[in-house]
Amino acid sequence: MKKITSILILTLLFVFCYSPAAAIAKDNYVVIKAGKYMPTGDLDDFDNAFLGELAFGHNFTPNFGVEFGIGHFETEASYSGYNVYLGNWSETDKASVTPVTVTARGIVPVEKVSLYAGIGVGIYFVKGEADLTSEAVNLSLDDDDQVPGIHALVGIEYNFTPEAFIGIEAKHTWTDDAEFSGSINGIPLEVKTNLNGYNIAAKVGFRF
């Protein structure tokens, strides 16, 4: 999957960056997205989180475009309990994620409304942290990783003018497992988790 992902990203970036200059009038856009990330899969116990994204796109035709985005979200989960070795204990796990994505979009314009769906690939930069507090010992672990992922999305945009628009977008993401490793008191530890999840976001954009 990693080799295929790299090829797709390089191909889409080449097409995006080297499009003919004559085709760019009002076909480029910048958009800000803000919404909620809802983890599934390995992070199912983690909290829903705020997700922000800045994206730049180019529509090659009225029905096809490519979008490049960079976003960020942070999610965490808290646990507590008791056992004979630790006594009363509590643990907080956190994941801080920065996705860098490329999406191919199919677009259906209907008067002032544009419906679209897309598929894409991305690299997800993630930092994982775990902090355990107990009556017996306090422990912490942090590490980072980068993993490839794919996503599918649908959305709708309302065009106030040919330049200004707002919209709403829903996306589902699947990633490879991120791996976090370290040691506590000389004991090696390794944790693996995917970053699968849904997100829904409102957006505002401007074409130029």
| pLDDT tens-digit readout, 95-133 | 999 999 999 999 999 999 999 999 999 999 999 988 888
pLDDT at 167 over 50: yes
- The residue written with tokens 């490519």 in the block is 66
Q: What are phi and psi of 177, to 5 degrees?
A: -75, 130
Whole-number percent of the chain with pLDDT over 90: 65
pLDDT-derived band at 208, boundaries 50, 70, 90: very high
Mean pLDDT of the chain: 87
Structural domains of the chain sorted by starting position, each given as residue range(s) with its CATH number in brackets? 2-207 (2.40.160.20)
**Angle, CA of 169, 172 and 175, to the nearest 5°:** 140
| pLDDT tens-digit readout, 135-160 | 887 878 889 999 999 999 999 999 99
So what's the pLDDT on residue 182? 73
Which neighbouring-strand residues pair with 155?
116, 169
So what's the pLDDT on residue 15? 43
Helices (H), the chain: 2-17
Instruction: Tell me the whole-structure pTM to 2 decimals.
Output: 0.82
DSSP per residue, 115-165: EEEEEEEEEEEEEEEEEEEESS-EEEEEEEEEEEEEEEEEEEEEESSSSEE
